[in-house]
Amino acid sequence: PPDVTAAVVSDAVNRFPEAVVMDVASVKSVIVQSVADTTGRFVPTHPMAGRERGGPTAARVDLFTGRPWVVCAEGSPASGIVRQLVAALGGFAVSMTPEEHDRAVAVLSHLPQVVSSSVAAELISADAAWLELAGGGVRDVTRIAGSDPELWAQILEGNHAAVADVVQTVADRLSAVAGALREVDAPGSRTTLHETLRAGRDGVSALPGKHGSAERYVTQIVVIDDRPGQLAALLSDVGELGVNLEDMSLEHSPGAPVGFVELAIAPEAAETLRDGLSTKGWRVSGEAQ
């Protein structure tokens, strides 16, 4: 936890004079400022591979595979050893200053947590019958709200200035949306709504794909029955068609007789996948919008 990281690091640097010491906390500036290390053996890091669940039962052997791992000690001899460890665990090192890291995670990690938790809090007072209608949209938005609140309170406090700035930006945008909805017939209201939604779509498009560049995929939706072996059979058929999956997500509400699998593929493979799966008896409902 960020509250004790600096103390633990300082103790380790003193107790193990021959060792390289690294941390994996979610904030960097406040820890670097608090650690009195004149030996150059402390390397601040942050693997960008967390999960919403904690503890040993949530561990995954491939947690770091293909994931960026921020290293905030460029030029330090000790950073080379840390980079070797990162590579051995399947990650790839990314050099940043502590301040740059904290600004980046404020947008990419800490803001999403605040927004997710805020949306999920609205479900507490929702009618139980309404919650039965919950689908992929609300589940996607609120997934990370299940994270440990004590840990996240520490993380947000440790990066409070950067997080406050981006939270305020989103709050201002939401305030403008609320104003437009309250005065929906007023001039400019529809423009405000449209521009907000368009900016959100453009933001999603800006996220890099698995090969590093911005995603340029199309998504085909396949309906599968809620019975054993369906997902495995679908993936087997996709493989037989020679189509490479760039990404995949599954949506299934408890009690529903069917689920929906979204298969992200290169645009040039869309026709092959759609026609091939249809021929094999799958229900392909078309592209996700």
| Domain definitions of the chain by residue range | 2-96, 102-206, 218-287
- Give 194-209 pLDDT, tens digit per residue: 999 999 999 988 888 6
What topology is assigned to 2-96 in CATH?
Rossmann fold (3.40.50)
Indicate the residue type of 172: D
What topology is assigned to 218-287 in CATH?
Alpha-Beta Plaits (3.30.70)
Tokens coding 202? 């453009």
Say which residues have a Cβ less than 8 Å from residue 166's Cβ, sequence separation at least 6: 106, 107, 110, 111
Question: For strand 42-47 and strand 21-23, is the pairing parallel, antiparallel, or unpaired?
Answer: parallel
Q: Is the dihedral of CA 268, 271, 277, 280 positive or negative?
A: negative
Question: For strand 247-251 and strand 283-287, is the pairing parallel, antiparallel, or unpaired?
Answer: unpaired
Say which residues have a Cβ less than 8 Å from residue 173's Cβ, sequence separation at least 6: 196
pLDDT confidence of residue 97: 96
pLDDT in tens, the chain (289 residues): 889 999 999 999 999 999 999 999 999 999 999 997 778 899 999 999 877 676 777 788 889 999 999 999 877 889 999 999 999 999 999 999 999 999 999 999 999 999 999 999 999 999 999 998 988 889 999 999 999 999 999 999 999 999 999 999 999 999 999 999 999 999 999 999 999 999 999 998 888 865 555 557 888 999 999 999 999 999 999 999 999 998 898 887 777 788 899 999 999 999 999 999 999 999 997 665 4
**Measuring CA to CA, how many Å separate 10 from each of 4, 26, 101, 146?**
10, 17, 21, 32
Nearest CA to 28 among 45, 8, 50, 9? 45
CB pairs under 8 A, 24+ apart, for 253-257? Answer: 253/134, 253/135, 256/226, 257/225, 257/226
Torsion of CA 65, 143, 215, 288, to 10 degrees: 130
Tokens coding 125? 């007072």
CATH no. of 102-206: 1.10.3660.10
